[in-house]
Structure 1
Amino acid sequence: MSHRNLLELRKQSDELFQHFSRLLDNAEKELTEPELGIAADNYDAMTLMLKTKRKSLGLTLSDLELQTGISQSTLKRLFSDPENARVGHLLLVCQELGIKLWAAK
């Protein structure tokens, strides 16, 4: 293989890497952008969004406990299984994290 071919492969590899990085950035943005919201019955996506958004904001469970008045043990359960969380707690945490929930008929 010639030096020129290697340079061309390097260029293509760099372009692919940039393309995949943009795809991943867009996918992450879709998960964390509050204006996108999340369906209230999509518990797997909700779990991922809650965890991702909390981490992106740099909030600990202790921080959220202070902001919401919800105990850390309850927050742990909410983050691991939002389906079984009290609606009021879930709405309060989503509000603090800037996540919009929506429900459809």
Structure 2
Amino acid sequence: ARWLTAAGVPASVLDPDQGQTFDLTTMALDAAEAGMGIAITREAQVRDALESGRLAAPFQRDLLRGEGCYFVSRQMRRDEAPVKAFRDWLLSEAAAGR
């Protein structure tokens, strides 16, 4: 929730306390692929989905240099304002080394 607040995404647009949460990354990725939201994960876990177009990375660089961490969403949702706002904030945090 703090990530969304810092990204300027109002709870009325994307409330992290509503909807599904997952204990397993694979379940979160399946949900992102189904269009249910976004996921943050390592490249190795989404490489096939990215290459096939089932998921899209909203930017073309790693968030954590050398770590291969990707922020992914369904292709048709990657340009939506809440997703873009969160992506931009996450990139600025990564650039600042936080």
TM-score (norm 2): 0.23
Give the structure with the larger strand fraction. Answer: 2
Give the structure with the larger helix fraction. Answer: 1
- Give the structure with higher Rg (CA): 1
TM-score (norm 1): 0.22
